[in-house]
């Protein structure tokens, strides 16, 4: 039974959240409820699983970490993207309500919504893969992305630990190009549910196994290696939700003979507070200083 649960909870929670979004939309529940109710339930289930079946007991966060990561999650992961892109998206859709869509819209809006969401996920990952890879390999961007790699352990809430500059670049690729192409709010909603629940799972401290899904999804088993303190291990598994681009470009990394060890940056004293991490990218070499 334990083996069944370990292999089953990831697809069940992810697919259940997607099903919830589609069902609520078909029932006329509206964009906000259809988007945020499945994400909230899915996230609470993942947090409950962390308590019931942790990957590592030592990764249980302190109260200080929960408070800090909750601030990042609220301000940078939720509110900041709304200001940058989601607000723009809904403003544009309101502007064009009841009118013919602009002639430059090239998105296949007549396709089934789930198929549109799959195409969007593939396209987003193709651009996010290269942004993520460059953010590791080019110093000026790495200094901002290092904020996300600063935690010494992974758990659900630190999925949102990003610098606003880093997060802003990501969401410009996630949303605005697809708005210009004419993606509907229903597709953006379904995509967001998939993106959010998978992201919480990626960082979760849940003892799950994905099996063959590790060749398709960028799940927790792969993502833990991406947070390794060793550069030769962390400079892999760049996929945002899918691992297919890593597989194509030779950066998929999942050793079968060992588990990831220390996480975080070489500088073990890299600041963890919200305001300190807002300033950290502007201190040259801080991300590379050895403890």
Q: What is the pLDDT of residues 25-42, one digit of tens each?
A: 999 999 999 999 999 999
State the Cα–Cα distance between residues 51 and 220, nearest whole angstrom.
16
Contacts of 202 (CB under 8 A, 6+ apart): 159, 218, 219, 220, 223
Q: Is the per-residue pLDDT at 119 higher than 60? A: yes
Buried b (16+ CB within 10 A) or exposed e, 249-282: eebbbeeeeeebeebbbebeebbbebeebeebbe
Q: Is the per-residue pLDDT at 22 higher than 80? A: yes
Q: What is the pLDDT of residue 291?
A: 46
Average pLDDT over residues 215-237: 97
Q: Is the per-residue pLDDT at 97 higher than 60? A: no
Q: Is the per-residue pLDDT at 82 higher than 80? A: no
Average pLDDT over residues 72-96: 71
State the Cα–Cα distance between residues 237 and 233, nearest whole angstrom.
9
> pLDDT-based confidence at 166, cuts 50/70/90?
very high
* β strands within the chain, DSSP E: none
Q: Is the per-residue pLDDT at 182 higher than 70? A: yes
Q: What is the pLDDT of residue 223?
A: 98
The model's pTM is: 0.89
CB 59 within 8 A of CB 153: yes
Q: Is the per-residue pLDDT at 88 higher than 90? A: no
DSSP secondary structure, 154-179, as one string: --GGGGG---HHHHHHHHHHHTHHHH
Q: Can you state the angle between helices 185-203 and 113-137, rounded to 10 degrees?
A: 50
Average pLDDT over residues 10-39: 96
Higher pLDDT pick, 127 / 176: 127
State the Cα–Cα distance between residues 147 and 277, nearest whole angstrom.
6
Average pLDDT over residues 247-269: 95
Q: What is the pLDDT of residue 90?
A: 58
Summary mean pLDDT of the chain: 90
Q: Is the per-residue pLDDT at 89 higher than 60? A: no
Q: Is the per-residue pLDDT at 87 higher than 80? A: no
State the Cα–Cα distance between residues 34 and 186, nearest whole angstrom.
9
Closest CA to 263 of 146, 128, 129, 143: 146
**Partners of 206 in the β-ladder:** 54
Q: For the chain, give the percent of residues with pLDDT over 90.
A: 76
* Minimum mean pLDDT range among 9-13, 42-46, 87-91, 96-100: 96-100
């Amino acid at each position: 039974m334990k083996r069944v649960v370990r292999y089953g909870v990831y697809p069940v929670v992810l697919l259940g959240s997607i099903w919830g979004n589609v069902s609520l939309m078909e029932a006329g529940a509206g964009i906000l409820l259809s988007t945020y109710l499945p994400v909230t339930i899915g996230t609470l289930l993942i947090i409950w699983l962390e308590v019931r079946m942790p990957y590592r007991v030592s990764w249980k966060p302190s109260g200080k970490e929960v408070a800090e990561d909750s601030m990042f999650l609220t301000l940078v992961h939720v509110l900041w993207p709304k200001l940058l892109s989601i607000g723009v998206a809904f403003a544009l859709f309101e502007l064009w309500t009841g009118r013919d869509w602009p002639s430059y819209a090239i998105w296949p809006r007549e396709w089934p919504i789930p198929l549109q969401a799959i195409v969007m996920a593939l396209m987003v990952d193709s651009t996010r893969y290269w942004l993520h890879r460059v953010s590791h390999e080019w110093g000026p961007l790495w200094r901002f992305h290092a904020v996300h790699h600063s935690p010494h352990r992974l758990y659900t809430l630190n999925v949102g630990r990003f610098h606003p500059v880093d997060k802003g670049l990501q969401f410009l690729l996630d949303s605005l190009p697809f708005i210009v192409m004419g993606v509907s709010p229903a597709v953006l909603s379904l995509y967001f549910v998939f993106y959010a629940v998978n992201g919480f799972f990626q960082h979760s401290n849940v003892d799950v196994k994905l099996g063959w899904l590790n060749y398709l999804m960028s799940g927790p088993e792969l993502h833990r290696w991406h947070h390794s303190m060793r550069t030769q291990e962390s400079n892999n598994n760049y996929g945002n939700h899918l691992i297919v681009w890593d597989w194509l470009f030779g950066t998929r990394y999942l050793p079968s003979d060992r588990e990831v060890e220390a996480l975080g940056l070489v500088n073990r004293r890299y600041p963890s507070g919200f305001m300190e991490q807002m300033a950290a990218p502007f201190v040259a070499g801080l991300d590379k200083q050895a403890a």
